[in-house]
């Protein structure tokens, strides 16, 4: 019996499911929101110190949102969710 190697046309399934793709898109949106939260806090005059860069939003909220987005991306890529079997 002769062995044949599978061609890409033989397997029509995608490596990432539809739910995984939606999770990846959601993770990218949350990641963008985290970087938007991280922005700002500068001053017009570089000789003047601005305490606005040390507020809660930039030190705590933005990094937490960014890490949460990375976790959502990881779940979307790895597929650690239950899919309904038909």
User: At a CB cut-off of 8 Å and minimum separation 6, what does 22 contact?
Assistant: 76
Residue 43 confidence (pLDDT): 76
Q: Are 43 and 50 in contact (CB under 8 A)?
A: yes
Instruction: Name the range with the highest mean pLDDT among 14-28, 37-51, 60-74.
Output: 60-74
In 3D, which of 42, 33, 41 has the Cα closest to residue 64?
33
CA distances from 63 to 17, 79, 80 (A): 28, 24, 23
Q: pTM value? A: 0.74
The values of phi and psi at residue 58, to 5°, are -85, -30
Residue 60 — very low, low, confident or very high, per pLDDT cuts 50/70/90?
A: very high
């Amino acid at each position: 019996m002769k062995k044949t190697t599978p061609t890409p046309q033989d397997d029509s399934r995608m490596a990432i499911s539809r739910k995984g793709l939606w999770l990846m898109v959601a993770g990218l949106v949350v990641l963008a929101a985290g970087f938007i939260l991280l922005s700002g806090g500068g001053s017009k005059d570089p000789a003047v110190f601005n305490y606005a860069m040390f507020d809660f939003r930039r030190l705590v909220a933005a990094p937490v949102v960014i890490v949460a987005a990375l976790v959502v991306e990881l779940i979307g890529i790895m597929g650690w969710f239950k899919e309904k079997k038909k």
